[in-house]
Amino acid sequence: MWGRERLGGQASTSQRSEDPEQPPQTRRLPWLSRRMMLIGLIVVACLVALVFLNSILQRTQNAYLALALHLVRLAIPVFGLALGLLAALDIDPATPRPVRILRRFFSVAFVIVAVTVTPLALPTIRETRSAIELQKRYGRATAIPDVLVVARAAELTRTGHSSRFRLPTANKNRLREAVALLDQEVAQTTGTLSFIAQVHAQRAWTLAELKAIPEALNEAKLAHSLDPHNVLGNCVRCRCFRLTGRLPEADASCDAALNDDKGSALAWAEKGAVTVARSRAGSSGDDKLLSDAVSELRLALTANPGDERAWNNLGIAYLDLKQPSKALEAANHALRVEPDFEDALITKASALKRLGELEEIIPVYKRLTELNPNDAEAWNNLGEAYERQSALGTALECFRVAVRVKPDFEIAWCEIGRVLYVQGKYADSLAPLERAIELKQNDPDALVLYAGSLYYLGRIDEAELYVMRALDVAPRDAMALKLRDVVLQKRNGRVRRR
């Protein structure tokens, strides 16, 4: 019975296959299709081409050829990425399961390799383009290996750049690698004086990014002595002079850089920073200086919108011009470029404070304390923000951290006394207020708060002494005047009772 059924089924199958209306069925192996074989051959050819290109790039002395080869090397993994995606999608359901798994594995692996290699090729292309510009600037006599080294150091400096107070380790490593490359180049190069000046200028800029300001200034001076028209060297001199408070020399260095290249974004950014510093140093015509600074920084940002320092300096200029809304906008731009830029966070907090956005200030100061737990000023500002929100307990903790980090921080000691005074803990407020008066004897806030605590503790004569000291320093202090009247009334009433 079972045999007859099987024979019947086979007979019906053969009958169907012999039906003239049905197309003949042919056996095929979809996992060995011509398309897949072609894709495999192309992948192998791409890998061989990458190896061949790398060997040529190591020997080439032509910057244009190097750029073309880099572009081809970038195109190969992109092409491979497309092939890998095609291979992953072009799987026939009839393919045996182990073969499907193997094909998907190799397709995904090739996609991962292509996605990884592609970003690595982009910096090399930037380096080669920089090398071409350097060779154009300093002449064909400059050897390609030399300009490639300088371009590589410039790319490392660009990627290692950070405006944070404390450089991350990865950034430090890139900058140190750039310095090491430039040290070797200084020792080996036989190029023109102007090219050697560019090597020293690039080294000075890298040292400035490492916050080694004295060494950067010496290197920039050397570059200037070799080539007074080196724009990068003059920009580094400007920055170093500004950071060391030598503003006239900084201004002159910026002017020299702009005379040689009026389109330099870096020169305009440094010029704007110097103008802001001059305004804050108390030069005459502050508003005019600040307006000039805004114009200079706008020119810098038009050429380089990703300069977070220029955005922050623009925010500072707007703050000093009493335009907090624009200052907040500029600070937010800076933070989009460098989210952990402490200076921009401080500028943002100052703008929010002037706008009365007290709730938004707290996350900003919290972030500052996370970035630098030893920043006493940030802890004090966070405490003041909590104090304005009437969160006195949290504010007191912040002030205590501030004085723990910086024991001679008079403002924080005074704020501790103020919070305790507001909480009615007059006896406890005396010690921190005494410390504040010890650190700054003529602080009217500390003197008035100390006098008030003494008054509520019944020490009227001492309270009168300290309130009079406060009025000697600040004769129009409203709290001191009111406390003086209360103290005198109390003392006079006590005399009458006697």
pLDDT of the chain, 498 residues: tens digit per residue: 444 444 444 444 444 444 445 454 444 444 445 555 566 666 666 666 666 665 665 555 555 666 666 666 666 666 666 666 665 555 556 666 666 666 666 666 666 666 665 555 556 666 666 666 666 666 655 566 677 777 778 877 887 888 888 888 888 888 888 888 888 888 776 667 888 888 899 999 999 999 999 999 999 999 999 999 999 999 999 999 999 999 999 999 999 999 999 999 999 999 999 999 999 887 555 788 899 999 999 999 999 999 999 999 999 999 999 999 999 999 999 999 999 999 999 999 999 999 988 889 999 999 999 999 999 999 999 999 999 988 999 999 999 999 999 999 999 999 999 999 999 999 999 999 999 999 988 889 999 999 999 999 988 888 889 989 888 888 888 888 898 888 888 877 654 444
Any idea which architecture 287-356 has in CATH?
Answer: Alpha Horseshoe (1.25)
Which sequence spans correspond to the domains of the chain?
A: 34-138, 139-261, 287-356, 358-407, 419-498
What is the SS3 assignment for 15? helix
The class (CATH top level) of 358-407 is mainly alpha
Tokens of 454: 């003494």
What are the CA-CA distances from residue 145 to residues 93, 135, 149, 154 (Å)? 54, 11, 6, 14
Confidence (pLDDT) at 480: 87
Confidence (pLDDT) at 121: 57
The pTM score is: 0.73
- Helix axis angle for 410-422 and 392-405, nearest 10°, is 160
What is the SS3 assignment for 355? helix
Any idea which architecture 139-261 has in CATH?
Answer: Alpha Horseshoe (1.25)
DSSP state of 227: -
- The sign of the dihedral angle between the CA atoms of 139, 142, 145, 148 is negative
Tokens of 323: 């335009």
What is the SS3 assignment for 109? helix
Give CA–CA dist 204/156, Å, rounded.
Answer: 14
Tokens of 75: 């195109």
Confidence (pLDDT) at 80: 61
Give CA–CA dist 340/371, Å, rounded.
Answer: 8
DSSP 66-94: HHHHHHHHHHHHHHHHHHHHHHHH---TT
Closest CA to 178 of 220, 218, 209: 209
Same fold, 358-407 and 419-498: yes
DSSP state of 424: T
Residues comprising the chain, all counted: 498
Tokens of 169: 């380790």
Give CA–CA dist 200/206, Å, rounded.
Answer: 10
- Report the Cα–Cα distance between both ends of the chain, in Å, rounded: 133
- Rounded to 5 degrees, φ, ψ at 148 are -65, -35
CATH number of 419-498: 1.25.40.10, 1.10.30.50, 1.10.10.10, 3.10.180.10? 1.25.40.10
Confidence (pLDDT) at 203: 92
Confidence (pLDDT) at 162: 85
Give CA–CA dist 284/394, Å, rounded.
Answer: 43
In the numeric block, the tokens 């380089």 are attached to 304
